[in-house]
């Protein structure tokens, strides 16, 4: 789990590891927080995605409660569970009866939730619940590291892009005797006119010393 991989790859691994590690588990969904909302980023089967979607559609369910209430939730029979009546109704046509939901978090942030499903009633014992919690804790740390790595790479790319744009602006200022504002405006207009990304256009200016015709 500590390999240097992308967040997407890490989340896929989380789902597979959870399916194999938690007794009674058949399918797993991993939801990751983005802008305060949960998105299903990985699932070991279509059923997990359908169930995650049902919870978002109903606006309730173990997944949402685990994330927003910072708890762990277990249900032995989803079809009869009165805590989430709208979600329970939506699951009647799906082959699932038991569910575990864990919040994935570190001291710094809530990252998402881990959702474990089974077609059997009361599939998850107390032991399975504890093992799932231990696994979720380690999984959260691994996911946090992957996100930190991805954010650092994105920041580095942004800095490199800004440097290239700044260099291109400097060249236009020197060759065409423009102010920094006018040089950046011409660069932006040329980007829109040629339908070229600003960074790519800046690279052309650095190579040729001028804007494209």
Contacts of 6 (CB under 8 A, 6+ apart): 146, 150
Under 8 Å between Cβ of 116 and 132: yes
Any idea what the Cα angle at residue 39 is, between residues 36 and 42, rounded to 5°? Answer: 140
pLDDT digits (tens, 9 = 90+) for 147-161: 666 666 766 776 677
Task: Check: CB of residue 43 under 8 Å from CB of residue 52.
Answer: yes
Q: Token digits for 204?
A: 């052309």
Cα separation, 173 vs 178, whole angstroms: 4
DSSP 51-89: HHHHHHHHT-SHHHHHHHTT-EEEES-GGG-TTSHHHHH
Residue 118 has pLDDT above 90, yes or no: yes
| Most confident region among 45-54, 101-110, 203-212 by mean pLDDT | 45-54
**Percent of the chain whose predicted confidence (pLDDT) is above 90:** 19
Q: What's the CA gap between 113 and 101, in Å, rounded?
A: 7
Tell me the pTM.
0.66
- Overall average pLDDT of the 159-188 stretch: 82
The most confident of 47-51, 84-88, 148-152, 171-175, by mean pLDDT: 84-88
Comparing CA positions, the residue from 57, 6, 21, 10 lying closest to residue 132 is 21
Q: What is the sign, positive or negative, of the torsion defined by CA atoms of 203, 205, 206, 208?
A: positive
What pLDDT score does 139 carry? 76
């Amino acid at each position: 789990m500590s390999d240097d991989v992308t967040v997407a790859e890490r989340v896929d691994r989380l789902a597979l590891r959870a399916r194999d590690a938690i007794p009674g588990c058949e399918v797993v969904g991993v939801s990751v927080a983005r802008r305060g909302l949960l998105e299903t980023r990985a699932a070991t089967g279509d059923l997990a995605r359908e169930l995650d979607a049902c919870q978002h559609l109903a606006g309730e369910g173990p997944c949402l409660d685990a994330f927003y209430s910072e708890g762990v939730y277990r249900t032995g029979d989803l079809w009869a569970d009165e805590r989430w009546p709208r979600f329970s109704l939506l699951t009647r046509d799906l082959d699932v009866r038991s569910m575990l939901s864990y919040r994935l978090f570190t001291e710094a942030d809530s990252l998402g939730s881990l959702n474990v499903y089974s077609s059997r009633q009361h599939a998850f014992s107390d032991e399975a619940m504890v093992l799932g919690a231990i696994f979720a804790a380690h999984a959260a740390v691994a996911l946090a590291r992957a996100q930190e790595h991805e954010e650092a790479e994105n920041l580095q790319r942004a800095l490199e892009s800004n440097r290239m744009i700044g260099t291109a602006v400097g060249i236009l200022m020197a060759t065409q005797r423009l102010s920094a504002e006018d040089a950046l405006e011409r660069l932006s207009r040329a980007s829109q006119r040629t339908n070229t990304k600003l960074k790519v256009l800046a690279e052309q200016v650095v190579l040729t010393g001028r804007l494209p015709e």
